[in-house]
A and B are shown apart, each in its own frame.
Chain A
């Protein structure tokens, strides 16, 4: 679920808890006078249950099933993957404008080595200490998400320039470039600043 949906769900849960707690407190503290039930399970409720017969059991079982389905749906919504799926292996098309490009046969590119190669390329940039890359979508609309740990003293413009070059190399290798690039950097201490 999105952050917004989670917030709404959390607020709804909060309102439900507030209503249950507030109502329970008002009954417990006698705000309802003599009309309020005395015991948690009132004899009137017990009588309704017995009068209902099989319908009472069916209603309770139905409520249980609804809660069960609701709970599973909520859990699934939280756990399922959102957004574009990771790039899988794909077939490279011959580059246009290259006369000697092969006209027959297929070249399959594996996504995992491409990702690892790009990570290694990014790690080689001066100042970058760690790089993690996700390639999402497909050849029609590739998304590149990179997380870089960059040292305190690194020059960010230089990191940007080198990242652009690394992406150009990737585009040259696979025949197309990403349509969306998202770079998240974390500023980390330089290795000589760390206390071991």
Chain B
């Protein structure tokens, strides 16, 4: 969202500058009695003067504008997941800090999610494991969604869930994540090979 927001800022800025520039330029031309140069101003004016507010096109355009506003407002208001999370200092950090100044260590969120999935694939029979990490200051929250063979019974499910939790806990401990991290595992029977499961 950080990058999206920045791109949005650039796009809106350029659009405003272009619209404002054309508006000022064409207005000055019109004031001097010259015809519009870049935009077909007269045609647009004629259309706007003869289009009713109740026209279907107007309703659709206004509804789309309002809907974009709602979606953008929700996206800006909700809490974003961090792109990187602070991790406990490695041993060398103390030496650097003592000699010079402050040292901070971070790990990128996506790389941790991918790392967890690789660890799980390497050690269990989980199918298409997907991790969703939400690293907060005092607690990392991890949601795991993994597939398992259709014929697996309840005991096998419980065993696999336990295995997944154990692996995730080990990885978090190795990274120095907060001790109170929460891991939520969801297993699904894989109905078909190649079926893509997503978080809901």
Contacts and interface: CB of A to CB of B under 8 A. Distances in A.
B146 to A, nearest CB: 18
Given A6-B9, A75-B14, A177-B99, A14 B72 contact: yes
Interface string B81-100: 00010000111110110011
B124 to A, nearest CB: 16
Interface of A: 1, 3, 6-7, 9-11, 13-22, 24-25, 27-30, 36-41, 46, 54, 57-58, 60-79, 152, 156-157, 159-165, 167-168, 171, 177-189, 193
12 contacts: A9-B12, A24-B58, A40-B53, A61-B27, A67-B20, A70-B17, A160-B93, A177-B96, A181-B104, A182-B106, A185-B111, A189-B118
Interface residues of B, number: 78
Nearest to A184: B106
Contact of A22 (B31, B66, B102): B66
Main secondary structure of the interface of B (DSSP, over half): helix
Contact of A21 (B10, B64, B111): B64
A40 B69 contact: no
Contact of A187 (B8, B53, B115): B115
Contacts of A70: 16-17, 20
A71 B21 CA distance: 10
Contacts of A21: 62-69
A41 B65 contact: no
Contacts of A62: 24
A12 to B, nearest CB: 9
Contacts of A161: 90-92, 95
A13 B59 contact: no
Given A7-B76, A171-B99, A15 B69 contact: yes
A2 B119 CA distance: 36
A182 to B, nearest CB: 5
Contact of B96 (A75, A79, A159, A164): A164
Nearest to B55: A28
A185 B99 contact: no
B104 A183 contact: yes
Nearest to B50: A39
Given A67-B20, A168-B99, A10 B53 contact: no
A28 B24 contact: no
Interface centre among B14, B73, B114, by most chain A C-beta atoms within 10 angstroms, is: B73
Contacts of B23: 60-61, 63-64, 67-68
A77 B77 CA distance: 22
B108 A184 contact: yes
Contact of B15 (A27, A40, A71): A71
Contacts of B175: 156
